[in-house]
């Protein structure tokens, strides 16, 4: 391509600091260095994790930063040494990389690669420099993705090549929300056929958990949300019943115990990022074999206190990052499963907006009106 090896000038949404609107700016995007890929982003979803950064609730972030980690696009050029991806390929940036070499990548049971943001902040590229500048100022990367930009540069370990026929406005959801929720059910919890599940929080992530529980053959899926507007969609995706904790004068975990004849649910999922709900989700689990999965991102520095008896008596408490998928190898297969109609996620996209209306997209999320807004470029 004629842009190969050159700096590209394009538009990006820059977060200059917490609690500020994103600002569409002209930025320069440097060419990819060795083992990096420059991608033209064509669709990007808005996830609550992006909003956590804007709200100042996510640790390890340096401003100014270009957010976004749920995108899809086409490779513009590749740096030296990139062999599995070429210009023109359709790709999904991965918010959890798979380096293939660290002890986590070599272990069969985890996807928590040592190159993830929680181990080493991904504000900069692996060589500790940035590929973005704006008005002469260096701008940070986010989760090595920064999909709220017309062009972005990503390490090859954090890019998955997908089927050329996959529509990009749906492919972007595989970069975070859908894969996270669906995988939390099928990989992390390993939901069994005929079981009872409770899903706390029915946003893009929680509804994807519902899709996963249904695909795994759960017979009862109880959706829990304080926004009743989410219930209809949850039922379309497979929730068998939905409850609003505010409709009861007892704690939601007691409501769930009552609904299950005092037994508790086999699997519960916290998809909000609220530590009180995380504890309630554990308490709502079956005493002997219940498994509760933390999917929501708690505010930086938050801590939980709980009775160890909850675990002593047989419950399991787990966390799930990006649905447990070993990202680079599994996400292309998950996309192929979607194309083979093994599940349907299209209803997760409630709004489509042009990129420059990105702040409206965040407002739709904050006001509870949207599940996923997809920005088109
Ligand atoms: P969202 O805001 O679309 O959905 C959250 C839902 O929770 C909304 O429907 C709210 O109404 C509901 N809610 C809020 N408070 C309560 C409450 N007290 N009780 C019941 N329901 C409540 O967010 P999302 O689906 O995009 O993301 C959900 C969380 O998952 C968020 O914390 C995000 O940071 C995290 C996340 N984790 C990963 C991961 O890898 N583990 C990936 C992506 C997102
Ligand atoms: Zn690794
Ligand atoms: Zn996300």
CA–centroid distance, 71 to ligand 2, in Å, is 21
Name every residue whose Cβ is closer than 8 Å to that of residue 2 and which is 6 or more positions away in sequence.
Answer: none
Residue 241's pLDDT is what? 98
For residue 52, give the ligand 1 atom closest to its CA: 34
Residue 27's pLDDT is what? 98
CA distance 234 to 213: 12
CA distance 275 to 299: 9
Architecture of domain 8-175+345-376: Alpha-Beta Complex (3.90)
Residue 118's pLDDT is what? 85
CA–centroid distance, 69 to ligand 1, in Å, is 16
State both tokens at 356: 């420059």
Residue 244's pLDDT is what? 98
CA distance 116 to 95: 8
Closest ligand to C-alpha of residue 270 is 1
Q: What angle is formed at CA 75 by the lines to CA 330 and CA 16, rounded to 5 degrees?
A: 95
Domain boundaries in the chain?
A: 8-175+345-376, 181-320
Instruction: Judge whether 204 and 182 are in contact, CB under 8 Å.
Output: no
- In the 8-state DSSP scheme, what is residue 283? H
Q: Ligand 1 pocket test: pick from 271, 279, 293, 345 the residue with the most ligand atoms within 8 Å of its Cβ.
A: 271
For residue 184, give the ligand 1 atom closest to its CA: 41
CA distance 257 to 268: 12
Buried b (16+ CB within 10 A) or exposed e, 46-81: bbbbbebbbeebbeebeebbbbbbbbbbebbbbbee
Shortest-distance Cα residue to atom 11 of ligand 1:
227
Strands (E), 159-297: 159-161, 196-200, 220-224, 241-243, 267-270, 291-294
Tally Cβ neighbours within 10 Å of residue 311: 13
CA–centroid distance, 326 to ligand 2, in Å, is 9
Helix (H) and strand (E) counts in the chain: 11, 18
Closest ligand to C-alpha of residue 179 is 1
What is the greatest pairwise CA distance in the chain? 67
Q: Ligand 1 pocket test: pick from 205, 227, 330 the residue with the most ligand atoms within 8 Å of its Cβ.
A: 205
CA–centroid distance, 75 to ligand 2, in Å, is 23
CA distance 188 to 325: 9
Q: Calculate the CA 56 to chain-centre distance.
A: 18
Instruction: Judge whether 197 and 224 are in contact, CB under 8 Å.
Output: no
Q: How far is CA 351 from CA 19, 159, 369, in A?
A: 23, 25, 9
Residue 258's pLDDT is what? 98
Buried b (16+ CB within 10 A) or exposed e, 210-245: bbbbbbbebebbbbbbbeeebbebbeebbbbebbbb
CA distance 73 to 286: 43
Q: Calculate the CA 304 to chain-centre distance.
A: 23
Q: Ligand 1 pocket test: pick from 145, 272, 350, 362 the residue with the most ligand atoms within 8 Å of its Cβ.
A: 272
Residue 345's pLDDT is what? 94
Name residues contacting ligand 1 (CB within 6 A). 47-49, 52, 176-177, 180, 200-206, 224-227, 230, 245, 271-274, 277, 295-297, 320-322, 365, 368
Expressed in percent and rounded to 5, the helix, strand and coil fractions of the chain are 30, 25, 45
Architecture of domain 181-320: 3-Layer(aba) Sandwich (3.40)
For residue 206, give the ligand 1 atom closest to its CA: 25
CA distance 361 to 354: 10
Closest ligand to C-alpha of residue 71 is 3
Closest ligand to C-alpha of residue 115 is 2
Laid out side by side, the sheet with 8-15 consists of 65-66, 8-15, 23-29, 132-134, 137-139
**pLDDT by 10s per residue, the chain, length 377:** 689 999 999 999 999 999 999 999 999 999 999 999 999 999 999 999 999 999 999 989 999 999 999 999 999 999 999 999 999 999 999 999 999 999 999 999 999 999 999 888 899 999 999 999 999 999 999 999 999 999 999 999 999 999 999 999 999 999 999 999 999 999 999 999 999 999 999 999 999 999 999 999 999 999 999 999 999 999 999 999 999 999 999 999 999 999 999 999 999 999 999 999 999 999 999 999 999 999 999 998 999 999 999 999 999 999 999 999 999 999 999 999 999 999 999 999 999 999 999 999 999 999 999 999 999 99
């Amino acid at each position: 391509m004629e842009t190969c090896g050159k700096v590209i000038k394009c538009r990006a949404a820059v977060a200059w600091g917490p609690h500020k609107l994103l600002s569409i700016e002209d930025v320069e995007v440097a060419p990819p260095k060795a083992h990096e890929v420059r991608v033209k982003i064509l669709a990007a979803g808005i996830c609550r994790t992006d909003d956590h950064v804007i709200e100042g609730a996510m640790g390890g972030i340096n401003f100014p930063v270009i957010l976004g980690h749920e995108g899809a696009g086409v490779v513009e050029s590749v740096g030296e040494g990139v062999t599995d991806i070429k210009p023109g390929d359709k790709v999904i940036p991965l918010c959890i990389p798979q380096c293939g070499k660290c002890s986590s990548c070599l272990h069969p049971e985890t996807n928590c690669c040592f190159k993830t943001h929680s181990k080493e902040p991904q504000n900069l590229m692996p060589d500790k420099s940035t590929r973005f500048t704006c008005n002469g100022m260096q701008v940070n990367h986010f989760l090595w993705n920064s999909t709220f930009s017309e062009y972005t540069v990503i390490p090859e370990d954090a890019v998955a090549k997908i089927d050329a026929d996959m529509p990009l406005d749906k492919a972007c959801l595989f970069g975070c929300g859908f894969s996270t929720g669906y995988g939390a059910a099928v990989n992390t919890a390993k939901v069994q056929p005929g079981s009872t599940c409770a899903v706390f929080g029915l946003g893009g992530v929680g509804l994807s958990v519902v899709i996963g529980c249904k695909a795994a053959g759960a017979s009862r899926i109880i959706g829990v949300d304080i926004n009743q507007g989410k219930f209809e969609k949850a039922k379309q995706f497979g929730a068998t019943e939905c409850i609003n904790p505010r409709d009861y004068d007892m704690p939601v975990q007691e409501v769930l115990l009552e609904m299950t004849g005092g037994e508790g649910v086999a699997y519960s999922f916290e998809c909000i990022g609220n530590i009180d709900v995380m504890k309630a989700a554990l308490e709502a689990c079956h005493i002997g074999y219940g498994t509760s999965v933390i999917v929501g991102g708690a505010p930086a520095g938050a801590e939980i206190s709980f009775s160890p008896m909850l675990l002593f008596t047989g419950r399991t408490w787990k966390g799930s990052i990006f649905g447990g998928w070993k990202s680079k190898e599994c996400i292309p297969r998950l996309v192929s499963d979607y194309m083979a109609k093994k599940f349907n996620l299209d209803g997760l996209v409630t709004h489509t907006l042009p990129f420059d209306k990105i702040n409206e997209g965040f407002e739709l999320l904050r006001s509870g009106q949207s599940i996923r807004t997809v920005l088109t470029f």
